[in-house]
Amino acid sequence: MSFRTTATSVDYVEDVSPGSGALPPRAWYASSDAQSLSLNGGWSFRLSPTADAEDDSFAAEGYDAGGWAEVSVPGHWVLQGDGAFGSPIYTNHLYPFPVDPPRVPTENPTGDHLRYFDLPEGWPADGGAVVRFDGVESCARVWLNGTEIGEFKGSRLPHEFTVGHLLKPTDNVLAVRVHQWSAGSYLEDQDQWWLPGIFRDVTLLHRPVGSAVDFFVHASYDHVGSLGTLRVDSDVDGRVLVPALDIDVATGEPVTVAVVPWTAETPKLYDGELVTAGERVPLRIGFRTVALEDGLLKVNGKAILFKGVNRHEWHPVKGRALDVETMREDVLLMKRHNINAVRTSHYPPHPAFLDLCDEYGLWVIDECDLETHGFTEQNWRDNPVDDDRWTPALLDRAARMVERDKNHPSVVIWSLGNEAGTGRGLTAMAEWIHGRDSSRLVHYEGDWNCRDTDIYSRMYAEHAEVERIGQGLDGGTHKRRALPFIQCEYGHAMGNGPGGLADYQRVFEAYERLQGGFIWEWIDHGVTHPKLGFAYGGDFGEELHDGNFVCDGLIFPDRTPSPGLLEFKKVIEPVRIEGDGAGGTVRVRNAFDFADLSSLSFEWSYQVDGKTVEHGPLPVPALAPGESAEVKLPQPPSGGPGGEALWTVRALLAEDTAWGKKDHQVAWAQLPVTERPLPTVVPGDGPTASEKLIYLGPASFDVRTGALKTIGGVDVTGLRLDVWRAPTDNDDGASWQDDTRYGLLWRKYGFHRMQHRLDGVELGEDALTVRTRVAPAAWEIGLRTTYRWTSDGTRLKLTVSVDPEGDWTIPLPRLGIRFGLSSADAVKWYGGGPGEGYPDTKSASMLGRWHSTVDELQTPYVRPQENGARPDVRWAELGGLRVDGDPEFWFTARRWTTEQLDAAEHLTDLRPGDTVWVNLDHGQMGIGSQSCGPGALPQYHLLAEPTEFSFVFSTTE
Ligand code: GAL
C-alpha cells in the first residue's frame, strides 16, 4: 500500500544517481561569436515546506505566478526576503538531518523558480541551444515551456540541457524546482553554511551547427629547450591559431615552438583561437608542464613551494553567489600578500575565478564537490564513497570538474574532495582522472597511504611531525615514501592568530620534500546581520550548529585583511633580507621559484629611536631564483642623535603590475645597529604620608592600600597585576582536543577571578613598597607580587616583582599590569606596529613610531576575544601619560574591561564605558592554532617563574 498521495513524484530527490537529461560535461568557455543570453536577474519564487507540497503545474506555459515573491538569481533564497524564506544553517561536519542515506527529511524546503524571457533580436534560427546552470544547491528539476528537460545534483558543478527544440522567439518560461535536501546533500557535507538556491549563473547559449562542443588544450613546456608544445584536441575539427607564435594548425595536430612558459610568478598567457565551422572560441594558453619527478612536484622542471590559502566562496550578504569583482578582489588581495596558491576548498569555484588565477598567476588545487565528513560519527559506516551504488555520482562529479576546468594552466592538481574517508568510489575517481588527464597530479588528504594520489597531504600536522616528514623519517607505505608532501590545511585562522606560521615556513624551506601548504582559510563566513554585525552558527536558531567555527579566515567577512594575513604575507615573502646592521652589509636572497628580482626595487632607511634620519635607493642585482648576494649598505648617517639605531631595507614593486602599484611593499627587514638605552630613574626624595594619601614625586597613593591614585594631574584607577586575557579561539581549542586547552584550564584554575590580598604598605627611605599575593579561590597556587615605587621628582618608576608559589603546571595568559584612565583617545607609541602581534604572530610587526586611537587599536574579530596588543613597545603615550618600559612591553588599550570582552559574543555586545583600560604586559602567552591544529610551541609559552619588570611614568603635558 502506498501512502504517497500527491501527483508529483519526488523520487529523484533521494535517488543516488547524479540525475538525468543533462548533456555530457565539457569545457566551460565563452564563444566569441555564438550568441548567449544571461538569465540572471529577478525570478518569480515560491517556497514550499516539502518536496511534494505543490504539484508541477507551475511549470506549464500560461501559469499565473502573479502572487509569487521574487528572488535574485544568482542567489540563495535563505539570504533573501528578510527571513521570509527560512534561514541559513551552519554545521561543521554534522549532517543537519538524520543520517539514513539516501533518505532526506520530509521537511525539505523547496523553491520553485520561474524566469520569463524572449530571445534577443537576431537569435539565429539554425543550430541548437543549451541552457547552462553553473551552480544550484542541492537538487533541481527543470522545465522549459512546460516540457521537463531533466533533474540534477552536484551543487557546485555545471549542468547543461539541450533546449533548442523548445525555444520560442518570445514568452519562454524556464521553471526550476530546487530542493534544499537531496541524496546529493550526503556528498556535500563541507564545513560551511547550508545555503539552498540557484547561486551561480544561468545562461542560454546558442550552439551553431559545427560549434566546438568540447576541446582540450594541451600546452606543455620543455624547460631544457625552452619549447612549448601545443595540441588542441577538439570534438569538432577546426584550426588553432596563436598569432603571437605564428601558429595555425589543425586541431589534434601538435606544434612545437619557442615560448615563454606560464608560472604563477610569471603568468604568461598567449591569446589564441579555436576556429570550427560553426564558431570561434578564444583561448588563453599557458605553456607549462607539471610532473612528479624525483619524489617532487615539479613545474617546468623545478620543484615549487606552495604559499597557499584555502578559499571558500564567500560574501557576507550574498553567500556563495559571488560576482566577478569580488573574485578579482580575492585574487588581488592574495597577490598583494605574497600568496602564490589556492586550494578551492571544497568544490570547484565559479569558473571565472580560475580565469583570474590564469591571468594574475596562482597555482590552483581544484577540488571536487565531495565531502561525507558526517559519517565519521558512525565510524564511516555506510560512507557513500565506499558503496558502489554511489560511484556513478562520484564519477559524474569528477568528470564535471575535470571537463569544465581542464583548460586552465593555473590548475596543477586535481583533488578528489575533502574529508570523505576512504573507499572504492575515491579510487574510481582517481583512476578516471588519471586516465583522462595525465598532465596533472591527483590529491586527496583523507588517505594517508596515498593509494590513489600523487602527493602526500595532511592537515594540521604539528611542526615536529612535518619536520620528520621532511627528513623522510615518517615511515608510511612504500608509495608514500616516494611522494612529496604538502599541508593542504594548516594555520587555523580562527579569531586571533594563527600562531606559529614562521616556524612552519622555516621547516618547509629546510626540506626539499616539503612543498609548502595552504592556510585554513581565506575568509570568515560571517553573515551580515542587522543586530549582530556579523552572524555565525547559532544566530539563526539552528537546532545543531558549530558556532563561530565558520569564522576562521585571514580576512574578515567584509574582506578587510586581519592581522593573520599580514603575518602570513611577511612569513612567506619572496625575498629574504638578512644581516647584521652594524656590519654594513645585507644579504638578499631571491626566494621565488621562477622570477628574478628585476621587478623589484630596493630602498634603505636609517632610523634612530623610530625616526627616519635618512633614506635612499639600494642597488640590488636582478638575482635569479634561489640566488643571493651580499649588498653593501651606505655609511650610517653621522651626527644624528644617539639612541636605538637600525636599518630598514624594503623590496618594492619597481613598476605598476597587473596586481600592484609601483612601490607596493613586497618584503622588508630591520637590522639593528645600536641598542636602545634603558630608561633610568635615580630615586630622589622618598614617600611622605598625610592622613589619606601618600605622596611620591608626581604621584599620590591611597594611604591604606598603597593604590596609585594620580600621576601629575592624571587620575589612575585600579592599577594592579593582571594575568587574565579574554581567551582566544585558539586558547579555547577545539572540542576534540586534549588536556592542553589552556583557555579552559585558565578558567578552571580561576585566572579570571584572581584575588589580590594586601600584605603590607611600606614607606621606605626612597621607595614606597606594596606587598601582595595574587591567587585564585580554591587553589594553592599564587603569585607573590611586590610593587616598588620610586621617583626622581618628576618621573615615577614602578618595579613589579612576581614570585610564583605552589605547583604551577600551566602557563599564564598574560603577565603585566592593568589600570584605568578616565579620558584617553589618541595613542602614540614607539615599538612594534602598526597592527597587533603576539609572541608567535609578530613577524609582521615593524619597529617604528606609530599613532592611532583607542578605537582603532581594536581588531574586530567576529567573536570578541583578546586582541590588539602592540608588541616590543619601548614607550607609549595616552591620556596625558607617557610610559617607558624596562624592558619593552606589550601595550593594549580598550574602552571595556577584559571581563566585558570575554563575555561578549558579537562585536555589538561591546559598549564603550567611561574608562579606558590599559594593559602593559611583560609577557603574553603565544597564540598557536589549537582551534583546530596544534597549540603554541613551547618556546612561546608564558611560564610562571620569578620575574621582574619596570615601567617609568611621566606626564606628557
Ligand atoms: C578541516 C576541514 C575544513 C574545516 C577545518 C576547520 O578538517 O577540512 O573544511 O572544517 O577543518 O575549520
**pLDDT computed for residue 8 by the predictor:** 54
pLDDT tens digits, one per residue of 313-370: 999 999 999 999 999 999 999 999 999 999 999 999 999 999 999 999 999 999 999 9
pLDDT tens digits, one per residue of 728-756: 999 999 988 877 899 999 999 999 999 99
Residue having the nearest C-alpha atom to atom 3 of ligand 1: 191
For residue 93, the ligand 1 atom closest to its alpha carbon is 10
Task: Kindly give the pairing relationship between strand 247-250 and strand 238-242.
Answer: antiparallel
Q: Who contacts 348 (Cβ-Cβ below 8 Å, separation ≥6)?
A: 156, 157, 366, 367, 368, 369, 400, 401, 404, 405
- Using the mean position of ligand 1's atoms as its centre, give its distance from the Cα of residue 447 in Å: 16
419 CB within 6 A, ligand 1: yes
Q: Could you tell me if 69 and 89 lie in one domain?
A: yes
In a domain, 764, yes or no: yes
Residue 3 confidence class, pLDDT cut points 50, 70, 90: very low
Rounded (10°) CA dihedral 515, 519, 520, 523:
-140
What's the predicted TM-score (pTM) here? 0.97
450 CB within 6 A, ligand 1: no
189 CB within 6 A, ligand 1: no
548 CB within 6 A, ligand 1: no
Q: Could you tell me if 79 and 26 lie in one domain?
A: yes
Note whether 789 and 767 are within 8 A (CB): yes
- Using the mean position of ligand 1's atoms as its centre, give its distance from the Cα of residue 108 in Å: 26
d(CA 29, CA 160): 13
The HSE-up count of residue 521 (CA atoms within 13 Å, CB side) is 21
Q: Could you tell me if 345 and 423 lie in one domain?
A: yes
418 CB within 6 A, ligand 1: yes
pLDDT tens digits, one per residue of 673-720: 999 999 999 999 999 999 999 999 999 999 999 999 999 999 999 999
**pLDDT computed for residue 514 by the predictor:** 98
d(CA 563, CA 559): 12
Q: Which amino acid is at 668?
A: W
In a domain, 550, yes or no: no
In a domain, 541, yes or no: no
Residue 6 confidence class, pLDDT cut points 50, 70, 90: very low
Please choose from 347, 419, 536, 552 the residue to mutate so as to test ligand 1's pocket, defined by most ligand atoms within 8 A of CB.
419
Which of 147, 174, 206 delimits the end of a domain?
206
Residue having the nearest C-alpha atom to atom 6 of ligand 1: 932
For residue 494, the ligand 1 atom closest to its alpha carbon is 12
In a domain, 544, yes or no: no
pLDDT tens digits, one per residue of 490-533: 999 999 999 999 999 999 999 999 999 999 999 999 999 999 99
Domain harbouring 501, CATH code:
3.20.20.80
Instruction: Please state the three-class secondary structure of 357-373 as a single string.
Output: HHHHCCEEEEECCCECH
Catalytic positions are 419, 489
Q: Could you tell me if 774 and 838 lie in one domain?
A: yes
Domain harbouring 616, CATH code:
2.60.40.10
Q: Detail the DSSP E strand segments found in 497-626.
A: 514-519, 527-529, 533-535, 575-580, 585-590, 600-608, 611-617
Residue having the nearest C-alpha atom to atom 4 of ligand 1: 191
- Using the mean position of ligand 1's atoms as its centre, give its distance from the Cα of residue 191 in Å: 6
Domain range for 52 is 11-206
Which of 246, 274, 289 delimits the end of a domain?
289
Q: Could you tell me if 200 and 178 lie in one domain?
A: yes
Q: Could you tell me if 337 and 382 lie in one domain?
A: yes
In percent, how much of the chain has pLDDT > 90?
Answer: 97
pLDDT tens digits, one per residue of 42-83: 999 999 999 999 999 999 999 999 999 999 999 999 999 999
What mean pLDDT comes out for the span 206-215? Answer: 97
CA neighbor of 768 nearest in space, from 840, 707, 720: 707
Q: What is the mean pLDDT of the chain?
A: 97
d(CA 118, CA 95): 41
Please choose from 415, 489, 737 the residue to mutate so as to test ligand 1's pocket, defined by most ligand atoms within 8 A of CB.
489
**pLDDT computed for residue 641 by the predictor:** 61
Q: Could you tell me if 485 and 350 lie in one domain?
A: yes
Number of domains in the chain: 5
Which of 289, 310, 343 delimits the end of a domain?
289
Q: Is the pLDDT of residue 933 over 80?
A: yes
Q: Could you tell me if 262 and 163 lie in one domain?
A: no
- Using the mean position of ligand 1's atoms as its centre, give its distance from the Cα of residue 516 in Å: 18
Domain harbouring 195, CATH code:
2.60.120.260
pLDDT tens digits, one per residue of 707-728: 999 999 999 999 999 999 999 9
d(CA 280, CA 31): 6
Q: Is the pLDDT of residue 5 over 50?
A: no
Helix (H) or strand (E) holding 392: helix 391-405
d(CA 216, CA 252): 9
Residue 144 confidence class, pLDDT cut points 50, 70, 90: very high
The HSE-up count of residue 31 (CA atoms within 13 Å, CB side) is 23
**pLDDT computed for residue 640 by the predictor:** 58
In a domain, 535, yes or no: no
DSSP string, 72-115: EESS-GGGSGGGTT---EEESSS-SS---TT---SEEEEEEEEE
**pLDDT computed for residue 740 by the predictor:** 83
Q: Could you tell me if 828 and 726 lie in one domain?
A: yes
What mean pLDDT comes out for the span 138-155? Answer: 98
Note whether 208 and 124 are within 8 A (CB): yes
824 CB within 6 A, ligand 1: no
Task: Kindly give the pairing relationship between strand 172-179 and strand 139-144.
Answer: antiparallel
In a domain, 690, yes or no: no
d(CA 652, CA 617): 11
d(CA 872, CA 921): 10
Q: Is the pLDDT of residue 7 over 80?
A: no
pLDDT tens digits, one per residue of 535-567: 999 999 999 999 999 999 999 999 999 999 999
The three-class DSSP label of residue 430 is: helix
Domain harbouring 890, CATH code:
2.70.98.10
**pLDDT computed for residue 823 by the predictor:** 86
Task: Kindly give the pairing relationship between strand 363-367 and strand 411-415.
Answer: parallel
pLDDT tens digits, one per residue of 858-904: 999 999 999 999 999 999 999 999 999 999 999 999 999 999 999 99
d(CA 90, CA 908): 21
Q: Could you tell me if 446 and 469 lie in one domain?
A: yes
pLDDT tens digits, one per residue of 810-863: 999 999 999 999 988 999 999 999 999 999 999 999 999 999 999 999 999 999
d(CA 108, CA 624): 59
What mean pLDDT comes out for the span 451-462? Answer: 98
Q: For 560, which DSSP code?
A: P
Q: Could you tell me if 62 and 153 lie in one domain?
A: yes
**pLDDT computed for residue 580 by the predictor:** 87
Residue having the nearest C-alpha atom to atom 2 of ligand 1: 191
Residue 582 confidence class, pLDDT cut points 50, 70, 90: confident
Q: Could you tell me if 265 and 195 lie in one domain?
A: no
Note whether 577 and 649 are within 8 A (CB): yes
Residue with cell 533521494: 14
CA distances from 718 to 446, 568, 701, 917 (A): 53, 37, 11, 9
For residue 445, the ligand 1 atom closest to its alpha carbon is 8
Residue 910 confidence class, pLDDT cut points 50, 70, 90: very high
520 CB within 6 A, ligand 1: yes
The HSE-up count of residue 562 (CA atoms within 13 Å, CB side) is 25
